[in-house]
Amino acid sequence: MKRIFLVLIISCCSFALIAISCQRVCKKEPTSTETIIGDSQPRNNFDNVSNVEADPQMEQENLDEKECCAQMKYHDKKNATGSFWWGIACGIIFTLLCTRHQKVKKIAKYIMKKISPQKETNGKEESSPISGKKLPEDGEQKSSTVALLEQENSSSKTIERTDVESHPSSSEKEEIEEKMEEVYPLNPFSFAVENEDWCVVGTSVIGKSHISMNLPCQDSCKYKYIGDGWGIAITSDGAGSAKRSEIGSKIVVERGVFHFEQLIERQGWKRDNKLPSDVIWLQMAYITLQTIYKELVAFGSAKGIDYKELSATIIVLIHTPHGILCTHIGDGRAGYRSESGEWKSLIIPHKGEEANQTIFITSDFWSQPNYVMSDVFVPQSIVMRECPTAFTLMSDGCEHTMWECNLYDEQKQIFFDPNRPFAKLYEGLRDTLVDYSKEQVKLQKRAENWQKFIMEGNNSLKKESDDKTLILGVLYK
């Protein structure tokens, strides 16, 4: 609303000034050095003014001249008033067009961007748009992880942190919607992959509360198909209380895919076309997750920051022709569709006694053997020995839309978590992905549609204030 009023004021003033300027150009007033009504000398010639004697004829001409000038000014003022109101009318029409038509609205936004004053840096260090960390100096060696972290996230803007309310007021809703439009283009964490029999889509999008609080998207996700029906999908949700959790979630998904792919190759599971035992997977998943934790600690030490500022959750799902390997630390959900078409849950989210409380890969549990939270081990690792026809994993920003997770038992008068996927909703999404594959819809279009769905596919997703991440894979043949 503020932008609309600002556009209205600026456009009205601009059109009014243009109209008045055109009117003045059409009828130019004489200047002080021009002759008026037949005078043979300039009016403002002050040479020897003290020696000039009064002339009756000249005085009469001066009176006539003043009367003529007064009439001219009256007509000029009248014309200027008319031009001013015409400008105001044009400005109002222009503003109405800006609020009604998207193309004209974009033009208005571009004009606003050009006329808005640029913020001064005041000598502050340059920072990357998404992480807010200091960029490396020229000549500094960069590892693959550091180079990854310096990539700009096009789904979020460079916004300075300010002290604002955690929830937007009603007057800010329209401005938040406009910012949502600005982050709408396909972001680096939106993807669509189709290989052999599997079609997989995924995205991480910023939540409304993070936009209103001038925070970046702290979720990340990644998927890699490694052949023969095997693929690795990982989601990570950065801790809202951690200063650089968006960096931590990026490290988690990138290094997670790398290390779990190395584990599969090293153990020969894909080569031998078999799943490990429950005990072996429990041990190997623990060691691999601990390796990622150590890399986060090393990264923090190298950058001179507390590694707890990189806190993030992790969910790893490896689909195979014979079943699913899954492990996780923290909250979120993961599930699959069986051969019979039934949607089932895979994990139990780690949640504390208080709302929105969970555990992170950087938490202090590694030195405590058999650590338990929510009645399950941390990390929790599962081997599901059933051929999946679809799978899904997500951050907690999507669970209230995609999962039965907060129902009320009237007999016991308590809330409970049935931990079940909404089968009807998932079946509709699965059918859509299958149709995309049959119709050979471009992968770019699939990724765009998936991102749009997670942003505003229904009222629940549209109103969600938290960042949202969701990966869905479908066996389409």
Whether residue 98 is found in the same domain as residue 175: no
Whether residue 296 is found in the same domain as residue 215: yes
Whole-Å CA distances, 186 to 38, 62, 332, 359: 72, 73, 23, 30
> Over 80: is that where the pLDDT of 316 sits?
yes
> Over 60: is that where the pLDDT of 55 sits?
no
Count Cα atoms within 13 angstroms, Cβ side, for 108: 24
Residue 60 is assigned to a structural domain of this protein? no
Whether residue 156 is found in the same domain as residue 237: yes
Total domains in the fold of the chain: 2
Whether residue 150 is found in the same domain as residue 12: no
Percentage of the chain modeled with pLDDT above 70: 61
pLDDT score of 322: 95
Q: What is the pLDDT of residues 400-428, one digit of tens each?
A: 999 999 888 888 888 899 999 999 999 99
Whether residue 96 is found in the same domain as residue 217: no
Whether residue 110 is found in the same domain as residue 150: no
Q: What is the mean pLDDT of residues 2-13?
A: 59
Whether residue 291 is found in the same domain as residue 358: yes
> Over 60: is that where the pLDDT of 312 sits?
yes
pLDDT score of 288: 98
pLDDT score of 186: 74
Alpha helices in 304-422 (DSSP H): 399-402
Q: Which domain holds residue 11?
A: 1-28+71-114
Whether residue 171 is found in the same domain as residue 255: yes
Q: What is the pLDDT of residues 200-246, one digit of tens each?
A: 999 999 999 988 888 999 999 999 999 999 999 999 999 998 999 99
Residue 123 is assigned to a structural domain of this protein? no
Bridge partners (DSSP) of residue 407 are 416
Residue 428 is assigned to a structural domain of this protein? yes
Residue 217 is assigned to a structural domain of this protein? yes
pLDDT score of 136: 36
pLDDT score of 188: 83
Residue 65 is assigned to a structural domain of this protein? no
Rounded Cα distance, 29 and 69, in Å: 10
Burial string for 11-38 (b: 16+ CB within 10 Å, else e) reads: bbeebbeebbeebeeeeeeeeeeeebee
Whether residue 208 is found in the same domain as residue 91: no
First CA to last CA distance, the chain: 50
pLDDT score of 123: 34
Higher per-residue pLDDT: 193 or 90: 193
Whether residue 452 is found in the same domain as residue 382: yes
Residue 411 is assigned to a structural domain of this protein? yes
Whether residue 110 is found in the same domain as residue 151: no
Of 102-106, 338-342, 369-373, the poorest mean pLDDT is in 102-106
Whether residue 359 is found in the same domain as residue 454: yes
pLDDT score of 225: 97
Provide the CATH number for the domain around residue 174: 3.60.40.10
